[in-house]
Each structure stands twice: as C-alpha cells, then as structure tokens.
A and B are shown apart, each in its own frame.
Chain A
Amino acid sequence: MTAPLLEAQELVLQVDGRILVRDMSFALKAGEVWCLLGPNGAGKSTFLHAAVGLRAAQGGALHLGGKPLAQWPAEAAARQRCFLPQSFHDAFGASVLECVMLGRHPYLSRWQWEGEHERELALAALHAVDLDGFAQRDVLTLSGGERQRVALAALFVQDAPLLLLDEPVSHLDLHHQMLVLEHLVQLARDRGKGVLFTVHDLDLAARFASHALLLTPQATALHGPVDAVMTEAALGAAFGHRVTRIEAAGRVLFVPG
C-alpha cells in the first residue's frame, strides 16, 4: 500500500486571524482527480499555497507522499509535486520553448544545460496543449489563454506525481478547457498521477473530477467522491445561492436558481 500523494491531517489554515480551514483531513491518492470548490475567499488558493509549501499551516499536518511537507528538500519536492499559480506577470520576454523547458529545472544538475531530451519533452508538451509552432514565440506576445497553456506545458514536463493547479482553465476558451481537462484526466488514468485543481465551473468539475473538496465560508470542508459532495444542498449552502442539479445529454449540470 503506497502512501497517498497528498494527505491533510486536521489541517488549520488562517489568514490575518480569520480561520479559513478548520480540522480538515483527507487523502488524495494516485489516479484520482480532485476538484477544489468554494466561493471567493473561502481559502482555495490558500490551501494550494500551503500544499506547495508557500505558506505554513496554523495547525495539523500536510504530508506529501507519506512524508511531512517540511521534511522535503526543495529539489526533491519539485520532483514530487508541481504547481500552477493563478496568474503570471512576465516582466521580461523569453521564448515559449525556454519557458516550457524551465519545468525540467529540478532534474538538471547545476552546470547542466537543457539538451535534445528536454527539447523533445517541451515540444511534446506544447503539442499536448495545442501550441505547435509556438516554440520560438516571445511569451510577451501571447494572449492570456496561450500564456496559460504555456504554463501548463511547463507543468507537464515537470512530470511530478502530484499536480496542484490554481484555476487551470480560467483563461481558456471552450475547446481548450476540454483539451486541458481531458489531458489531466488522462494523466491520472494512464500514468497514475494525482490531480487537484480549483475551478468555478461546477459542470466542468462534475464532469472531469473523480473527487471533490468543497470549502465553505464556515471553514468546514466537505470531501469525497464527486456525487457525494456536489449535492444541491451542499453547493447551495457553500455558495450562498440556490443550485439545481439536472441531468441532460447524459451529463450532470448545475443551474443557479
């Protein structure tokens, strides 16, 4: 029995004295795709930052691959989990290829340069996010959605067992939302990756995720298989807005009422 990729034990997260997450425990295992749901300011990004090690927890513990987060050396942690931040601010230009190959940083030794292997991985990842032919473009010339897909490609070449993504499809058009989420599901199914992503589109969450983690303004967290968590009552209470669950075209849809 292998350890869960990410495990929270009675986790407490606090921002400026406000408790966002209280005594949350769950385990994310290989092959599972979790959506992280909740209203604005409920602590979705805060939790992701804690899971990446960008902020400390105020109580409880976070384990990465069975080992407490703090015990992971920086480079080893970067080979175990990867993280997509919510936004990017490129102050300086660089080629798309260079930006994607940065994802191999944790695997290269100090004086090693990216070679043919890294280049091939990067081009394959660019293909996966439908950015063929973009390798030599300057990232400063890209649209928001294209820049986000470049960041996703960098994440794919980082090739960590656990993928933590903060709004991976927020800037993407319909087709590329599908493309990226299908790729994430495929990574979980075929290669045993664990995925945790925040998303505001409940329909996409229900369609692609196997599990859900729902944060509420009351600092309680619901978690479990998607169907068990994403009920009309729970979603309505969490978002403070009535939600009707319908089934159409073989899919589960949520209509705000």
Chain B
Amino acid sequence: MDPVVEVTDLVVDHGRRRVLHGISCTVGSGSGSVTGLLGPSGSGKSTLMRAVVGVQTVRSGQVRVFGQPAGAPQLRRTVGYLTQAPSVYADLTVRENARYFAALYGLPAADADRAVADVGLAAAAGQLVADLSGGQRSRASLACALVGRPELVVLDEPTVGQDPVLRAELWARFHALAAAGTTLLVSSHVMDEAGRCDRLLLIRDGRLVADDTPAAVRAAAGTDDLDEAFLRLIRDRQPTEPSRGADR
C-alpha cells in the first residue's frame, strides 16, 4: 500500500536559519500504525509535524498526505493535529471545546462527549480549561484533535506533563486507534516512549538519523537501551553543521 505521509527532500528555514535539511521519509502504510518522531528538543520535530499538517512554510521539497499535497482542503477532514502547547480555549469548558471542534467536522455533541471521556476527562468535562492542571489541559487539547475521527493523527508531544499511569493509558489509546486502522505520528523526546512505537524516525539538528523499527534501531546500535542506541547513532553520524535550532 502507498505510504500515508511521503516527505521528499523537505527543506525548511526559519529566517536565515535552516531547520530541516532536506528530509525524506514516509509514515504509515494505511493499515494503522504508530510512528514515533524522536529527537532532542530543537531538532526540528515540531517543524516537520507542522509541514505534515500543512501549516508550515517550506523552502523546498514536498510533503504528500494520502497522495495530496499537505494542507489540501480535502485533507482537513482526515488529519487531526495536536499542537505542542495545548491549543484549546481557556475560557470555555472542556465539553464546549470538544463540541466546537466536533461541530467543525459536522459531528454531534455525543461524539464530543465520547472524545472527552476517552482521554479520561469525563469528570472534568464541565470545568473551564483555565481551571485545569497542565496535564488535564493537554488532554483536553488531545480530545479536540481526536474528536473528528481522523485517519492520520499528528500528535506533538502528547504525553508531556502526564503522570506515568495516564501516560500508559494514553499509549494504550494510541495503540487502540492504530489497531482500528488509524495512522499516528507521535513526537516525543522521551526515549522510553520510543519502544512503544511500531516504527521510529530519529531526527537531530534537522537531519534524519534513523528510520526503522525499534528492534532494528537497537540492533544497528548494538544495544537494547534505546536511549543509548540513539546516542550511538548520533555519534556515528557527526553532523556536518553543528548549529542547533530552537523548537519548531
């Protein structure tokens, strides 16, 4: 099957600084999977994700999603996007937020309420987002990203600020979505989450360091510890340009 996301020679500049140096990779096959986008803070993860959902100005190269150019109007019903900072309305309740995003996809309030329950916020549904904890806030944001039942879900650091129990629950939820046929692209800078992915994209300083299954990454680096594997892969491939960028 064709890949869900196909990135070819993607170059992105922020001002005069180059953030992505000609990245080429694919994500998903259309049968449901979780791809982890791993890399240190400032490596270009968010920028790559923004390019996939079509809100990033790109210098050159192309990104195709389901065969369409990223951001094409036809894709707006099939792609769900979670920004790194929780992007929900602080002056609305969790339920009102989810119902608004559901309405944008033409879905009824019941679907919104289910999405809220799915991220474990049923008890807080009537609370204003402004009154929630950081972790709850990002789950409210996640509910809004998932409410439209997208076929491709792009999640920028969805588990930051969550306690270990919730983190496990969220990953179980991602796997359930993948099992139901959804393609997920999940970024993280926590290596223990890498092991939970079907496939890994390791990125550093805007360049792809590895694109493989977790097992293959471990084998290539000759260690069982993904954290250590990532370090070894980076050392093996000293970047030609040592500049480090900010996030996005």
A and B held together in a complex: no
